[in-house]
Structure 1
Amino acid sequence: MLWEGEEAKGHAVCLPFPAQGHINAMLKVAKLLHSKGLHITFLHTQSNHDRLFFAGHHHQPTSFRFEPVPADITLDHPLIHGPLRQPTRSLLERLMSATPPPTCIVADVFMSFSLELAAELGLPHAFLCPVSPCGFMGFLHYKDLMDRGIVPLTSESDLTNGYLETVIDWIPGMKNIRLRDLPSYFRTTDRNDCLMNFCRDEAQAALRASAIIVHTFEDLEHAVLDALSSILPPVYPIGPLDLLLSQIPDRESIEPIRSSLWEEDSSCIDWLEGREPGSVMYVNFGSIANLTIQQLTEFAWGIANSGCGFLWVIRPDIVKGEPEPAALPAEFLAETSRRGLVTTWCRQEDVLGHPSVGGFLTHCGWNSTMEAVSVGVPLICWPVLAEQQTNCRYLCDEWGMGLEIGEDVRRGEVEEKIRELMGGEKGVEMRKNAIKWKESACRAAGPGGKSSLHLERLLKDVIFSR
């Protein structure tokens, strides 16, 4: 760990894609690099920088700084790189006169313009892939899918006529993958769709990288990692990040450095203290996914009818287009008041690691997936967008620790899956598999483990190569 007054071994500039999940993963990598003696400058868009400090995360030691890029963009901006490129370049040029000056750039794999900036400044560069390797393999093959005429869709009817069941048997390292299991942004009829083409182009840019950091561990995705390593520049699987961070002897010193764009409710941990071990279903659909009022209501009554205790995180903006924050039915709140708690945001790692949590109803974002794997908690999966469909497929069919809820949410199915996970025979088997993967993850992230060794190799090959 780098303390005040100590000389830094280097200076890493970290550039995340400006979405909560991407920020979370990058901050954990930044903390790992900081623990190895690097000064860190962590870049945020102006709006995210303002939100971070509004949420109360003010801890900023001299050796770990947050800097705003003076550009204000939204995630649905059709050309997200355009407004960011020049302000980021200007900021990097200013930092070059800092003490110590930047010695490397670590950028999100969906921020490909950083490749050119690093080359212009003569700095070593590494991409962080914050999505799953199996999901990124899907993005990497968007180009081939488009060239073969498989995507985009011919018509909207392809969403329901069985076309998504088409087996794609030629993607390396991925067996029995259906079109529906691949990242969802191809589900358009417009060949010029901005998001589909953005993901295709950003994934292809990874072929020009010097190094790719992936948030996983070898045993979990060995077939996909082998295939990626044959296609991409050197791949460094370091994960789970939380378990690697837990190896830092003085971790408490970096705990106050947070990345949540929402104010976190710490009282939910006190509420969990009064619950029986393994009795609570934790429900959280992440930082971006939106539900309709009908879906929210179906989930609510499915959770209520299961009879299970629950902690449910509901963002105020979870129902898109509504002028007021999402509201659960009053009858639901009255019926479940003694066995449930609803909050707006929490520190998820602490919740999932609590002994009272026995299951996780999730959108299958990769951070959430890896956090559940790290602590051995089985999942009920309702993928919404991006590579969440791929993560769901692997959780359920490859790793044996997930149950999928259909896209068309019905309270009866929600109730059934919760009952099965929390008390059924299938749930018992899933729990065994979840514990097996937790043990494997702990070995990988422990001293001498594969992920720990990959981190050391990354430091030697890239971070300290200048």
Structure 2
Amino acid sequence: MVAAALRRNIPHAIMISLPYQGHVNPFVSLALKLASRGIAVTFVHLDHIHRRLSESRGRGAAADSDIFAEARRSSPELDIRYTTISDGLPLEYNRDENALEYFTHLIEDFPKVADKFVGKLIAGDMADSGSRLIHFLVADTVWSWPAAIARKYNLINVSFWTEPALIFSLCYHWDIMRQNGHVAKEDNETEVEITYLPGIKTISSRDLMSYMNENEGILAKTLTVIFDDIKKTDFILHNTVQELESQTLSALSKHQPNYAIGPINFSKNLPTTAVSKSFWSESELCNNWLDSKSRGSVLYVSFGSVVQIPKQELHEIAHGLLLSGVDFLWVVRAGISSDGGDVLPEGYEEKIRDSDRGLVVPWCDQIKVLESPAVGGFLTHCGWNSTVESMWCGVPMICRPVTFDQPTNKKLVVDDWGVGVDLYDGGGSKVDRKGVAEKIRRFMNSDKVRKAASHVKETVRNAMAIEGSSERNFERFVGDLNAKIQSSC
């Protein structure tokens, strides 16, 4: 089926996601959506990500299954072929425990692997059909190599930004903030209001991404180079909603084509649940437990798939949850704290289990949890996937951002959209169980934040409706892409 489609020389994309949970999820949904519009897709995972996906489904480390096979069975019109490549390191290498070293490897060494792979794929298709069949590359904006590879192989370069447009714009205008001395400052304790960036009314320096004040950090160095290349990218897709970030997106679109197509994970009529995406096995305990709880009574707690929190703070949050008197479901994944050992107080899980006040699981299907009528709030690290999933379900948030984009996401959630509150007053990180308990109690009884969450839910869902802004933007992108493909043939 796929080979026949490729022989017809229909538009054909190579897609390669950054190998992190928050990037894989929207990339899979984008692949399905492109394929639903008659575009052939070659979707590429790194070998170790494929192994994690297989293990999370109980298929074993050696499984060689195609993660899109079930989706194609349910929707035979989808032209998606799936392959994997090595990232250049042994499968046994612990990428989680060596996160900084691994990310540095991805930035400095993986581009050679990607170049070789794309070249081989293009050469193979040309030999098979006698003409160039691959037309464009869809790569994660945070990759360091797409611009060079797109130029080398004469591919249209489509960059997919999986975070809010605000963060994209801040990175886009990084050089202006540096000239004004508002990033990589010597005095990071002094707050500065930044009011001169196009499409951004005002933002405090305290709400900037953590890496913007790291002179020598690998992410800061990489992103400054990447965003020089981004300014020459053919198309930029954003996993956000036009109505929520209209000024920022309008300012960016004055320079090059930008399309808000999110939240892409909630695209209609796509077999997204048929594709393996979770890096961890999902607990089966959550739904029955939630069904036993009254409407809006449960606080869901999860700090995502990557960040780590000190054990002392986890203990204070644990005690704060008990003191609050609120029922809670808490995802405590392996590696949530770098301190090691048991991250919860001794006897904690037995205590909450005996009282039926709480449930602790290692991982869960977050969408199913947030969709439960019992869930009335979400204590979150403010990763973008978690944020848009919470908004989609109309669940207000208590925000405890840790690093990367999370402080800026929190700014949007709390200050711009009003759908959340800070866990710690003033956005600090004071660890106090009584303060945590009081914040949880006030939050769970707040009509104001609940009404705001309901309003944003309506905005987000309208955007993904048939005539919604995200759907119209996606169709506009496909039309513009096809026109560019035709003009380059």
TM-score w.r.t. structure 2 length? 0.85
Mapping of residues 214-363 of structure 1, within 5 Å: 214-231=238-255, 233-243=256-266, 245=267, 247-248=268-269, 251=270, 253-322=271-340, 324=341, 326-337=342-353, 338-363=356-381
Matching residue of 2:120: 94
Which SS does the other structure have where 1:447 is aligned? coil
Matching residue of 1:442: 461
**Hey, what's the Cα distance between the residues in 1 that align with 2:283 and 2:483?**
39
In the TM superposition, residue 201 of structure 1 has moved relative to its aligned partner by 2.0
Is 1:114 matched with 2:146? yes
**Hey, what's the Cα distance between the residues in 1 that align with 2:344 and 2:233?**
46
Matching residue of 1:142: 174
Is 1:399 matched with 2:417? yes
In the TM superposition, residue 14 of structure 1 has moved relative to its aligned partner by 1.0
CA RMSD of aligned residues (A): 2.2
Matching residue of 1:382: 400
Which whole-Å deviations, capped at 9, do the CAs of 1:324-377 have from their partners, x for residues lacking one? 4x4311343233220211111112122111211111110111111111111111
Q: Contact 1:10/1:464 (CA < 8 Å) preserved in 2?
A: no
Moved more, 106-115 or 8-17: 8-17
In the TM superposition, residue 381 of structure 1 has moved relative to its aligned partner by 0.5
Counterpart among 434, 443, 447 of residue 412 in structure 1 = 434
Matching residue of 1:25: 26
Moved more, 176-185 or 222-231: 222-231
Matching residue of 2:92: none
| Amino acid across the alignment from 2:216 | N
Q: Which runs of 5+ in 1 are unaligned?
A: none
In the TM superposition, residue 79 of structure 1 has moved relative to its aligned partner by 5.2
Counterpart among 223, 226, 245 of residue 202 in structure 1 = 226
In the TM superposition, residue 212 of structure 1 has moved relative to its aligned partner by 0.6
**Hey, what's the Cα distance between the residues in 2 that align with 1:41 and 1:71?**
17
Which SS does the other structure have where 2:412 is aligned? helix
Matching residue of 2:62: none
Moved more, 36-45 or 299-308: 36-45
In the TM superposition, residue 20 of structure 1 has moved relative to its aligned partner by 1.6
**Hey, what's the Cα distance between the residues in 2 that align with 1:117 and 1:199?**
17
TM-score w.r.t. structure 1 length? 0.89
Which whole-Å deviations, capped at 9, do the CAs of 1:218-252 have from their partners, x for residues lacking one? 11111211222234x20000012233x2x21xx3x
**Hey, what's the Cα distance between the residues in 2 that align with 1:5 and 1:339?**
55
In the TM superposition, residue 5 of structure 1 has moved relative to its aligned partner by 8.7
**Hey, what's the Cα distance between the residues in 2 that align with 1:414 and 1:25?**
32
**Hey, what's the Cα distance between the residues in 2 that align with 1:366 and 1:385?**
12
| Amino acid across the alignment from 1:142 | W
Q: Tell me which stretches of 4 or more aligned residues in structure 1 moved more than 6 Å.
A: 3-6
Matching residue of 2:5: 7
**Hey, what's the Cα distance between the residues in 2 that align with 1:348 and 1:26?**
17
Matching residue of 2:68: 60
Which whole-Å deviations, capped at 9, do the CAs of 1:360-398 have from their partners, x for residues lacking one? 110111111111111111000011111211111111111
Q: Which runs of 5+ in 2 are unaligned?
A: 60-64, 73-78, 90-94
**Hey, what's the Cα distance between the residues in 2 that align with 1:270 and 1:464?**
50
Which SS does the other structure have where 1:341 is aligned? strand
**Hey, what's the Cα distance between the residues in 2 that align with 1:138 and 1:339?**
42
Q: Contact 2:310/2:339 (CA < 8 Å) preserved in 1?
A: no
Assess, with a 3 A threshold, how the Cα gap between structure 1 residues 405 and 45 changes in structure 2: closer, same or farther: same
Q: Contact 1:42/1:67 (CA < 8 Å) preserved in 2?
A: yes
In the TM superposition, residue 169 of structure 1 has moved relative to its aligned partner by 1.5
Assess, with a 3 A threshold, how the Cα gap between structure 1 residues 317 and 223 changes in structure 2: closer, same or farther: same
Q: Contact 2:315/2:343 (CA < 8 Å) preserved in 1?
A: no
